[in-house]
Amino acid sequence: MPQQKPLVVVTRRLPDTIETRMRELFKASLNIDDHAMSKDELIEAVKSADVLVPTVTDEIDADIIAAAGPQLKMIANFGNGVDHIDLNAARERGITVTNTPGVLTDDTADMTMALILSVSRRIAEGARVIPEGNFHGWSPTWMLGHRITGKRLGIVGMGRIGQALARRAKAFGLQVHYHNRKPVAPSIEQELEATYWDSLDQMLARMDIVSVNCPHTPATYHLLSGRRLKLLKRDAILVNTARGEIIDETALIKMLEAGELAGAGLDVFEHEHVETRQATQNCCVASHGFSHRRRPH
């Protein structure tokens, strides 16, 4: 008699090839309409699932893990981090937690570089001009961006993604600086021509561009606090493709609105609410150009 396939509950819609392969290998329960599952839905899922496949938007806390049936043996996160999963609660229940480190390294580095260029060259802001009916003809100083060649890039977190970003940045003529818990291997530092700063404060105060590429842990929550954000130069830009909670988002928005920072490119948000995302988009992702950073808003 063939062995019964384990029940795998997938919390969000995944690429078709992945879902198809899951159906071939497992008894897979798919989220066809891609809605964000509520806590009650997640609790119901873990009562019957052998494997839960969540994503970064699912908060798998101790209550959900406590509700799991004895058959739940694995929480296999679709993504890099596991900061949204209560690891202690999972460990106490003997549930294995996995993630997929490395698979998004180049993609995230590409996105980071794209945001650096987008903010510096005001690409996102410019793309909104015609649809919003604000194009009134070209002039030499209109929508003037800024070149990045020769600028100093400070990378907060020199892991796989930080190093991949550094290689791209070097090709664009940026001077690479970084802050990490400890320096990278001398061979990597030499390859990237990177300058190490043991003091995050000192690095932030000297950079033209700052990119956040460290994981979200209790130690990195609001690592870029309101105080540290104030250390940035007024014509600096900030990019975050790591986790929203690493930056004090409220303080960042206030600085952008006050013209105390040239611009920000955010792929993640601290507060995943529609109102917050809209406010952040209006003053961050659209990016205030360098030549207009003191313009009233």
Each residue of 154-163: pLDDT tens digit?
Answer: 999 999 999 9
Given the residues 121, 177, 228, 288, select the one marked as catalytic. Answer: 288
Given the residues 216, 243, 245, 249, select the one marked as catalytic. Answer: 243
Given the residues 21, 227, 272, 273, select the one marked as catalytic. Answer: 272
Helices (runs of H) and strands (runs of E) counted in the chain: 12, 11
Q: What is the pLDDT of residue 194?
A: 98
Strand, coil or helix: 255 = helix
Residue 288: active-site member: yes
Q: What is the pLDDT of residue 196?
A: 98
Residue 136: active-site member: no
Q: What CATH architecture applies to the domain 7-98?
A: 3-Layer(aba) Sandwich (3.40)
Residue 270: active-site member: no
What ranges do the domains of the chain cover?
Answer: 7-98, 105-292
Q: What is the pLDDT of residue 26?
A: 97
Angle (CA) 111-239-257 rounded to 5° is 135
Residue 239: phi and psi, rounded to 5, are -125, 140
Contact 216, 246 (CB under 8 A): yes
Contact 28, 19 (CB under 8 A): yes
C-alpha 87/C-alpha 215 separation (Å) is 15
> Is it true that 7-98 and 105-292 share their CATH fold?
yes
Q: What is the pLDDT of residue 58?
A: 96
Name the β-bridge partners of 247.
Answer: 224
Q: Assign 292 a pLDDT band (cuts: 50, 70, 90).
A: very low
Q: Assign 101 a pLDDT band (cuts: 50, 70, 90).
A: confident
**142: which residues sit within 8 A by CB, 6+ positions away?**
none
Mean pLDDT of the chain: 90
Class of domain 105-292: alpha beta
The DSSP secondary structure of 129-161, one letter per residue, reads: TTTTT------TTTT-----TT-EEEEE--SHH
Whether residue 289 is predicted with pLDDT greater than 50 in this model: the reply is no
